[in-house]
Amino acid sequence: MPRVAFIGLGAIGSPMARHLAIPAHDLVIWNRTRARADDFVGTTPARIADSPAAAAIDRDIVITCLPVSRDVESLLDGPEGLLATMPRGAVLVDCTSGDAATSRRIAARLAEHGIGFLDAPVSGGVVGAEQGALTVMIGGDAAVLERVRPVLECFGKRIVHCGDVGTGDSLKAVNNALLAMHIWGTAEGLVALEKAGVRAEVALDVINASSGRSNSSMNLFPERVVTRAFPRTFRLALLDKDVGIAADLAREQRVPSPLLQLTAELFRIAHDELGELADHVEAVRVVERLGGAIIGGPREDASRDGGHE
């Protein structure tokens, strides 16, 4: 069995790494903020390394899950960096929702050292990670994927080879841009309906039995918006980043993409307004403030909505 290191114990990284903590993997972890690593080993058998370099010693597979590809790139160099110790023949599997250009640059750097690279962003959210039921989108060499597949299957139910390095990143970004469009569009429609006298519960009941439904209307709005729960599972800052990657992709490919560009702009505005800690679904609060009505739940005054950071 391959020996594994995991780097980046954030909201989704932690539950992913938990599935890897079997004796055969001899799991080693590193997290920039040590307290998160300490919390992790309080409940899960793993060894804490003092640096990325220390984590990568003797590892067959190093998995990273950080906010952006540049964060992963910044861990490669220097005496504490991954390249200082990662053995030839090892594979870096980057589960960051990254960007293709940076992933290609990382892959080229690693190849100079005889190390393989796969971009491997995931979908399914924190709940999917906890259940070990993520979808993993792979860009890179299919033979390298087959070598690491049993490890990815610890947290992934669907492992999909998308194409060359960077294709997993691109597919993930487009998926999340669609998520963003559904959230914003559903919010606009429901705010307008509230003002026209149709309660959100009634509107969602009909939409979810009709052709306008989506994961947002079926799950996110009933569970998180109408209830005003807005749990923090996936930061709005990260969705803003994803939509930006998708908008850049369309421009690079010379695809006219007014909807993608507009969505990127709207989520940049929402991110600026709501701050770094807001959840992605809280973008709805911006639509509510602009529209002057609250979707479902107890009536609140939208102009003094307390959700802003």
Task: Return the number of other C-beta atoms located less than 10 Å from residue 231's C-beta.
Answer: 11
**DSSP state letter for 226:** T
Q: How far apart are CA 62 and CA 120, in angstroms?
A: 12
Residue 158 or 195: the one with the smaller Cβ distance to ligand NDP is 158
Active site residue 172: yes
- Which is nearest to 75 in space by CA: 140, 26, 7? 7
Residue 132 or 291: the one with the smaller Cβ distance to ligand NDP is 132
- Least distance from C-beta 56 to ligand NDP, angstroms? 14
Element (H, E) at 94: strand 91-94
Looking up tokens 């306008």 gives: 212
Residue 49 or 122: the one with the smaller Cβ distance to ligand NDP is 122
- Least distance from C-beta 291 to ligand NDP, angstroms? 27
Say if residues 98 and 169 touch (Cβ distance below 8 Å).
yes
- Least distance from C-beta 126 to ligand NDP, angstroms? 5
- Which is nearest to 80 in space by CA: 106, 105, 57? 57
**Which own/partner pairs from 144-150 qualify as long-range (CB within 8 Å, at least 24 positions apart)?**
144/91, 144/116, 144/117, 144/118, 145/118, 147/2, 147/91, 147/116, 148/2, 148/61, 148/91, 148/93, 148/118, 150/1, 150/2
Q: Which of 157, 172, 195, 241 is catalytic?
A: 172
Residue 49 or 302: the one with the smaller Cβ distance to ligand NDP is 49
- Which is nearest to 90 in space by CA: 66, 113, 120, 106? 113
- Least distance from C-beta 71 to ligand NDP, angstroms? 4
Residue 31 or 186: the one with the smaller Cβ distance to ligand NDP is 31
CA dihedral 194, 289, 309, 221 (to 10 degrees): 20
Q: How far apart are CA 88 and CA 86, in angstroms?
A: 7
- Least distance from C-beta 24 to ligand NDP, angstroms? 25
Q: Interface residues with ligand NDP (CB under 6 A)?
A: 8-13, 31-33, 36, 65-67, 71, 74, 96-97, 122-123, 125-126, 233-235, 238
- Least distance from C-beta 203 to ligand NDP, angstroms? 26
Q: Which residue is nearest to ligand NDP (CB)?
A: 10
Residue 203 or 264: the one with the smaller Cβ distance to ligand NDP is 264
Catalytic site residues?
172
